[in-house]
Amino acid sequence: MSIAQEIHRIQQELATTSARLVVVTKTRSITELQETFAAGVVDFGENRVQEMVEKQAQLPSSIQWHQIGHLQTNKVKYIAPFVHLIHSVDSLKLLVEINQQAQKNKRIIPCLLQIYIAQEESKFGLNQKEVTQLIEDPIFMTLSHIRIVGLMGMASFTENVAQIKKEFQSLKSLFDDLKANRVGESTGLVQWEEISMGMSGDYLLAAELGSTLVRVGSAIFGPRG
């Protein structure tokens, strides 16, 4: 199947769920990204800053760029002029820098807090307590150029569907708690709207469990080289 056919197949699968497709274009060529755009997709996900910046300069300005990978503080300035949504915020220090660069660019940058849901040691993210601490920190309230619009999580790298399901459910349940208790909303800087979860192997499961943004690459383009 062509890139466009794969995209339309996945969009059809997601049509009865609340999830939207973010096409993960990391390592893919400009030609492949042009094909993706021609198929009607505007949400593109990249995990390396330099790659995103280079591609952004060569592609239509209507593309909405999602930063999905771990973001270093010293790289924020390169994506701040254009980034649509940062999925991978895992510290107050990073958020302070995003706020500063957003202000310089006269923008408000929407962000997701990355939550640690996997069993693996290596994955980045906050736990439930750290989310509350971050939002209740006095410094947080001063960050008028960011918005926290939801949560992001990465499941363990495993074939064990029950394990993945458990991890997605834990993210959804944290989200539901934060939303029900309107955590942080009085600051005007928080709106609980998005749950970014699900990749090529598990996007349908994630969508069924309440994901609003699935991040899919290899199911569209094939394995990364």
Ligand X SMILES: *Cc1c(COP(=O)(O)O)cnc(C)c1O
Report the chain's terminal Cα–Cα distance, integer Å. Answer: 19
CB atoms inside a 10 Å sphere around CB 158: 15
At closest approach, how far in Å is the CB of 138 from ligand X?
31
The CA distance from 39 to 207, in Å, is 21
Residues 50-69: x/- map of binding to ligand X (CB under 6 A)? ------------------xx
The CA distance from 90 to 76, in Å, is 13
Q: Is 150 in the site for ligand X (CB under 6 A)?
A: no
Would you state the structure tokens that stand for residue 135, as one six-digit string?
Answer: 């939002």
Residues 106-145: x/- map of binding to ligand X (CB under 6 A)? ----------------------------------------
At closest approach, how far in Å is the CB of 68 from ligand X?
4
Element (H, E) at 49: helix 49-58
The CA distance from 21 to 45, in Å, is 10
Among 19, 21, 23, 24, binds ligand X (CB under 6 A): 24
Query: CB of 23 within 8 A of CB of 216?
Result: yes
Q: Is 218 in the site for ligand X (CB under 6 A)?
A: yes
Taking CB under 6 A as the binding criterion, the range among 122-130, 166-174, 179-187, 211-219 that sits at the site for ligand X is 211-219
Q: Is 200 in the site for ligand X (CB under 6 A)?
A: yes
Q: Which residues bind ligand X (CB under 6 A)?
A: 24, 26, 47, 68-69, 154, 199-200, 215-219
